[in-house]
Copies of this chain bind each other. A is one copy, B any other.
Amino acid sequence: MQSLVEKAEILIEALPYIRRFFGKTVVIKYGGHAMLEPPLRETFAKDVVLLKYVGLRPVIVHGGGPQIGAQLERLGKPGIFVDGLRVTDDETMEVVEMVLGGTVNREIVGMLQRAGGRAAGLTGCDGSLLRVERKLMKGQDIGRVGHVVEVDPSAMEAISESGFVPVIAPIGLDSSGLTYNVNADEAAGAIAVALGAEKLVLLTDVEGVLDADGNRVSELSRKGALKYIDEKIIQGGMIPKVECCLNVLANGVPRAHIIDGRVLHAVLLEIFTDDSGVGTVFTA
């Protein structure tokens, strides 16, 4: 009995967090190890379903780079990357659509449903969710890679209000109806802004932002983040993630997080403990 009471007390400890986020939207970019390793996948699914039941409105935006790479390899077609962005010819884009829309999206929907939730998947093409333009990389065309110029959240909201967790594959449409690959962090940020989300959470495979001594920084202001980039303390693939966070803050989302998806229940811990606990939070 004693242990039951302790469990009850842990539930009760969650109450202030549940109250704080009741009815709020949280957009989660899902990718990396958290998407590839079974125990992490399972706890992620349960975390999201729990959030939905206790009154938050989680929205999942997923990537799928490794799966796309594996399928391209299977087809004997290795990918080319420029600055972390895949060069996407038409044939590659076809594979991107198949893998993101056909395999990865379905798997995430399925795993949320096995965890007891209700979920439905969309790509950014459904209901013109993600309207994009062709993205140039240092002035060069890198194929069917788009950046988001407009979000129409109505299909996604219809699904969310009907009690489902929307799971979004980051494929966008340009004005001629051509499909484009979109960076999942960027898609998640654009959706967070369009939905007036309470927070954006980027699941990564790192501890968070590290300072010059290699220690995790639990909170960073805009100014601090820009200074770190300037001083090359933040570098490489972390730069666009940090910029994505700063961008959503500038557009009215109160908090953005880079958290460590390799930790079991990382999402739940981020929501249900104080901000200093997991990863790095960016604040305006």
Within 260-284 of A, Cβ neighbours of B (below 8 Å) are at 263-265, 268-269, 272-273, 277
Residues of chain B within 8 A (CB-CB) of A179 are 106, 110
Interface residues on A, range: 35 or more
Evaluate contact between A264 and B173: CB separation under 8 angstroms: no
Evaluate contact between A116 and B155: CB separation under 8 angstroms: no
Encode A113-142 as 1/0 by CB contact (under 8 A) with B: 111101111110111100000000000000
Within 1-33 of A, Cβ neighbours of B (below 8 Å) are at 1, 4-5, 7-16, 18-19, 22
Evaluate contact between B9 and A265: CB separation under 8 angstroms: yes
Number of this chain's copies in the assembly equals: 6
At the interface, yes or no: A79 with Cβ under 8 Å from chain B?
no
Evaluate contact between B102 and A128: CB separation under 8 angstroms: no
Residues of chain B within 8 A (CB-CB) of A118 are 127-128
Residue of chain B at shortest CB distance from A161: B158
A263 contact from B5, B16, B128, Cβ within 8 A: B5
Evaluate contact between B15 and A53: CB separation under 8 angstroms: yes
A residues sitting closer than 8 Å to B (CB atoms) are 1, 4-5, 7-16, 18-19, 22, 43, 46-47, 49-50, 53-55, 71, 74-75, 94, 97-103, 105-106, 109-111, 113-116, 118-123, 125-128, 154-155, 157-159, 161-164, 171, 173, 177, 179, 263-265, 268-269, 272-273, 277
- Distance, CA A16 to CA B50, complexed state (A): 9
CB distance from A50 to the nearest CB of B (A): 5
Evaluate contact between B106 and A103: CB separation under 8 angstroms: no
Residues of chain B within 8 A (CB-CB) of A43 are 8, 12
Given known contacts A106-B101, A123-B106, A272-B11, is B18 in contact with A54 (CB within 8 Å)?
Answer: yes
A50 contact from B18, B49, B53, Cβ within 8 A: B18
Evaluate contact between A121 and B122: CB separation under 8 angstroms: yes
Evaluate contact between A12 and B268: CB separation under 8 angstroms: yes
Residue of chain B at shortest CB distance from A121: B126
A75 contact from B7, B49, B74, B94, Cβ within 8 A: B74
